[in-house]
């Protein structure tokens, strides 16, 4: 279907045309950034230009950006490379954080989806130092924006470091290391219109990291392996564009329009995280009595692409640990889908979504009658 509507931007954003152009040029060049001859120096120059662009996106120093293969590797480098005795992660973190450390301590969240800062303080008080806290900036399923700066202040009181997975937030809301007060921050290119397979761990201050990948001195000894130059260049181009993107208000209006129209169709529908600050593009909503998997397939057949929770489980639709942590009823949680918008989303896309969603809802009501 050539006129399909894409509303799964939190899974991956379409590549920006400017990014594709920059990568096309990069793919035509040869040279290893570690080589000292002219082709190698040209690749090094291009890599460092991209590093500066990624650093500027979050107000960091270029030398504090460590390029990785994506957000998952960056999260693992933060949690495993910082060599802390105790690791605490919020109950709504991405699986790449939740599963990185087997004995990590879970920090509960409120029903709103916001982390329980009082619980964080109690857990830190009872935890052996040195400790590392991992709290995402914005949740990938609900869009709820976390009080990271406040969590950082709590961590500081107990001498703990704070890692922030900002993969979903970057490019959608302002992200600044000094405002957040974090020590380590994760980014991913493909969430901001860059290529898949490129990410970064950004250091908020000088920290000693034990590399997960050894065998070379790349990335200032923090991540071995020849750099993915085309991917890094694409990441840098996407970061430059993301700094100038000011569509958040328009996207939020479209998101709210979709929510209002869907609730008009099904008044019992629930929007998760509605009472908390959220990303402007994210809507997690239930269709009462209809499984998320059924909704995703039916909407896809109607030419509308959405997802059920996180899209990082090899295509599997499974119960959401995020909604469970928020205290959602299991049956209700299983009826929730994630609708996520982006810079090219328009009113026509929202109308297609509403028409397809409404048709499915009315059909299921008729079948149940």
Which positions are catalytic? 312
User: At 249, which helix (H) or strand (E)?
Assistant: helix 248-265
Cβ proximity of 175 and 146 under 8 Å: no
Cα angle, residue 82 at apex, residues 76 and 83 outer, rounded to 5°: 105
Which tokens belong to 347?
Answer: 């009113």
H helices, E strands: number in the chain? 13, 11
Q: What is the largest CA-CA distance in the chain?
A: 75
Q: Are 286 and 296 in contact (CB under 8 A)?
A: no
Please state, in angstroms and rounded to a whole number, the distance separating the CA atoms of residues 1 and 46: 38
Closest of 250, 248, 299, 292 to residue 270, by C-alpha: 292
Angle at the Cα of 243 (from 239 to 248), degrees rounded to 5? 115
For residues 250 and 237, the answer to whether their CB atoms sit within 8 Å is: no
Tell me how far CA of residue 138 lies from CA of 253, 315, 351, 353, 364, in angstroms: 19, 22, 27, 24, 33
The residue assigned the tokens 């933060």 is: 78
Query: On the CB side of 200, how many CA atoms lie within 13 Å of its CA?
Result: 37
User: How far is it, in rounded angstroms, from Cα 272 to Cα 151?
Assistant: 22
Q: CA–CA separation, 55 vs 172, rounded Å? A: 16
């Amino acid at each position: 279907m050539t006129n399909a509507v894409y509303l799964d931007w939190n899974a991956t954003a379409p590549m920006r045309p400017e990014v594709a152009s920059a990568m096309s040029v990069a793919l035509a060049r040869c040279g290893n950034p570690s080589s000292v001859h002219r082709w190698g120096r040209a690749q090094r120059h291009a890599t460092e230009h991209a590093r500066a662009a990624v650093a500027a996106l979050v107000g960091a120093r270029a030398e504090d950006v460590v390029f990785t293969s994506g957000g998952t590797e960056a999260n693992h480098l933060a949690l495993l490379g910082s060599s802390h005795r105790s690791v605490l992660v919020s109950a709504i973190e991405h699986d790449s954080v939740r599963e990185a450390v087997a004995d990590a301590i879970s920090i509960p969240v409120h029903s709103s989806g916001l982390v329980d800062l009082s619980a964080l303080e109690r857990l830190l008080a009872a935890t052996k130092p040195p400790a590392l806290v991992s709290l995402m900036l914005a949740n990938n399923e609900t869009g709820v924006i976390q009080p990271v700066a406040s969590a950082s202040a709590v961590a500081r009181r107990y001498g703990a470091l704070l890692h922030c997975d900002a993969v979903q937030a970057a490019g959608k809301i302002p992200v600044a290391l000094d405002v957040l007060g974090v020590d380590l921050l994760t980014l991913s290119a493909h969430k901001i219109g860059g290529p898949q397979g490129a990410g970064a761990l950004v250091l908020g201050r000088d920290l000693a990291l034990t590399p997960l990948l050894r065998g070379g001195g790349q990335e200032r000894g923090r991540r071995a392996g020849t750099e993915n130059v085309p991917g890094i260049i694409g990441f840098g181009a996407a970061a430059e564009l993301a700094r100038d993107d000011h569509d958040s208000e328009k996207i939020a209006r479209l998101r709210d329009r979709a929510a209002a129209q869907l609730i008009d169709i099904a008044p019992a529908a629930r929007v998760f995280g509605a009472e908390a600050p959220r990303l402007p593009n994210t809507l997690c909503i239930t269709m009462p009595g209809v499984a998320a998997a059924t909704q995703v397939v039916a909407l896809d057949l109607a030419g509308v692409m959405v997802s059920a929770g996180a899209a990082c489980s090899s295509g599997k639709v499974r119960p959401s640990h995020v909604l469970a942590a928020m205290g959602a009823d299991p049956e209700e949680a299983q009826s929730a889908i994630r609708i996520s918008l982006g810079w090219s989303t328009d009113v026509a896309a929202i109308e297609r979504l509403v028409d397809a969603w409404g048709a499915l809802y009315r059909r299921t009501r008729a079948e149940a009658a």
